[in-house]
Amino acid sequence: MRNAKIISSGMFVPERIIPNSYFDELLGENVSDWLEENVQIYERRWCSENESTADLCVNAANEILNNASLKAEDLDLIIIATDTPEYISPSTASIIQDKLGAINAGTFDLNSACSGFVNALDVGAKYIQSDKNYTHVLVIGAYAMSKHLNKADKKTVTLFADGASGVLLKADESGAGMLASKLRTKGQYHSWMGIYGGGTANVTTDKSIKSNDHQLKFVRKFPKELNAEIWSAMIMDMCESIDKSPKDIDHYFITQININSIKETLDILKIDMDKTTTIMHNYGYTGSACIPMAFHNAIENNKIKKGDLVLFIGSGGGLAFAGAIFKL
């Protein structure tokens, strides 16, 4: 059976390092202790003034292609998962295609907020599974949220960061590839967190800029247990669909906004923390880039191997949830 195998990964983060001490000075209070004790973030990367989402993606894409020993011309499709696009229109993916010289690739962006990479992974795999015209699909999650942060809002400015990471999918008939996927949405939370200026509901004007609608806002606090409950239920559903148990999964890659939610999820499943990888400590919260960043980190540190079952699960504004199980 034709399936989509992950054959390489890569990532890129800006050079600019922002330590927690920066926010102690910026906000005039000690936030370092809370960040280190509660979310285990010690530093993060922010784009320079002249650096954007497309720049992050191109650098990540070049590493992914190099690790796969492929040229940009070999790509059939490029999917960029981001909610911090280069422009409202045209797509960021079209810019990446041009900058890479991927002359044979179709392109599109996918916006499902921070669950976007897993959504895009699911879509890219299904292109390969269903259509022989697609052999190589590049999937990248990208985040340049520093461009949309209110420097006076300690609820957001201390957590969010920038980066891009992804994988290359290749058509394969060896038994490797995507085995299960699942999407869920809790749309009643759509107004609780987001960037609400610039779209057709609230075109960015001088008035909206003054009210910070062009910046990321936490409008209401989400229920603490929400992620852990939904992630664990989705994981059990996906495992059951392929006659596996959560204990059969070799490694878990989970949205990196809150290490406690990851711990709570694995506790529900009775899974040890050594079966997951966390990268928020040095990179902050990188949205749709964080799951592939954790995956790439695990590969670089020899934590996963050929034949392993890996599970990706993410969530983001909307609220959108996405999960997938792959055999490597």
Residue boundaries of the structural domains of the chain: 3-174, 179-327
- The CATH class for the domain spanning 3-174 reads alpha beta
Number of residues that this document lists for the chain? 328
Locate 115 and state its tokens: 């669950």
Shared fold status for 3-174 and 179-327: yes
Give residue-wise pLDDT tens across range 203-219: 766 555 556 778 887 77
Supply the DSSP string of 72-135, one letter for each residue.
GGG-SEEEEE-SS-S-SSS-HHHHHHHHHT-TT-EEEEE-BTBTHHHHHHHHHHHHHHH-TT-S
Give residue-wise pLDDT tens across range 65-122: 999 999 999 999 999 999 999 999 999 999 999 999 999 999 999 999 999 999 999 9
Please tell me the pTM assigned to this model. 0.94
Locate 255 and state its tokens: 């949205």
C-alpha span between 98 and 255 (Å, rounded): 30
Architecture of the domain made up of 179-327: 3-Layer(aba) Sandwich (3.40)
Give residue-wise pLDDT tens across range 147-197: 999 999 988 999 999 999 999 999 999 999 999 999 999 988 888 888 888
Q: Packing angle between helix 92-100 and helix 53-68, nearest 10 degrees?
A: 50
Yes or no: say if 166 and 140 are a contact pair by the CB < 8 Å rule.
Answer: yes
